[in-house]
Amino acid sequence: MPDSLFDKLDAEKKVGALGSLNADYSFSVASFPEPGSTIAAEGFALRPGGKSSNQIVQAALLGMDCEMFGQVGEDDLGGWLIEKLREAGVETGRISRKGPQSGCAFIMVDKAGENEIVVNSGANGLLGEEYVEGVKDALSSLSALGLCLEVPIETVEKALREVEGPVKVLNVSPMPASPSLDMARGADVVIVNEDEAKKALGKALPSSPDAMRWGMAAKILQKRDLPSAVITLGSKGSVVLDGGKAWPIAPRAVSPSDTTGCGDCFAGALLAGLASGMGLPDAAEIASLAAAFSALRPGAQSSYGTKEEIKKFAQQ
């Protein structure tokens, strides 16, 4: 049973995330505005976010030993973002502060739980290769390391190239203007959504998680000597591509309240499973349940569940 997999999470293994921290300005709207129009929001909240910060918070909520590696500005928001991570049980001692402005995101969520997001990178965009050099020993001591593309690609590539030791998981998001998975060769696992997978692999991929239909994509990865992959398919679940084979991961059907941060939740739970020594399909089962649970509550980090909450959810 998937809920029993949570008992295999090893709290002595350390998970790290290298990447972005954002302040999320979230507005609830009846529907998204048309160009040139002004609408009234039905609710507003300021919450901590950023893809990497979100991922490490979910891993921490699952009981893992966690540390965030990244950069915030020298503004009040930077201090607030660091404090929120500490409250979630994440180590923050190696987060640097540079520049006048922390990263932020403007998020609109409609009544169907769908979202539209605009991001300003702020201090995230100033995270240089020299930062990786300074924390390389700490990164190498991890059991699993999560990376994303909300910081400069050169910084991510240096980590992929030079950090040895942890399982390296690259969330290829936001997808570069010239999509390619070649940059991910230093990773052990990549996470992409359905649209990103089609752009990066350049093939007409199936729209269902059926293993036989996704076998072609698995063979493409293997032939090109690319990392294993998890393709997230939203309400259709996900599919694991590993060793030239495909494993469909069935979705947990829910009526979403807010899908903001669900992909980051998935990535954080996957990191926890891989750090604990699980195979990729088992880690993806945990990640799928965690992401489904998060869709039931508003926000990104504010919607994430603890290990016990998600286990209970899995038993329903």
| Catalytic positions | 264
Q: What are phi and psi of 36, to 5 degrees?
A: 85, -5
User: What number of other Cβ atoms are within 10 A of residue 188's Cβ?
Assistant: 17
Q: What are phi and psi of 134, to 5 degrees?
A: -70, -25
Instruction: Identify which of 119, 166, 120, 118 has the alpha carbon closest to the alpha carbon of residue 18.
Output: 166
Bridge partners, residue 170, by sequence: 147, 190
Q: What share of the chain is helix, strand, coil (3-state, %, to 5)?
A: 40, 25, 35
For residue 217, what are the CA distances in angstroms to 41, 194, 285?
42, 12, 20
Distance, CA of 99 to CA of 128 (rounded, Å): 13
Instruction: Identify which of 70, 79, 76, 77 has the alpha carbon closest to the alpha carbon of residue 23.
Output: 77
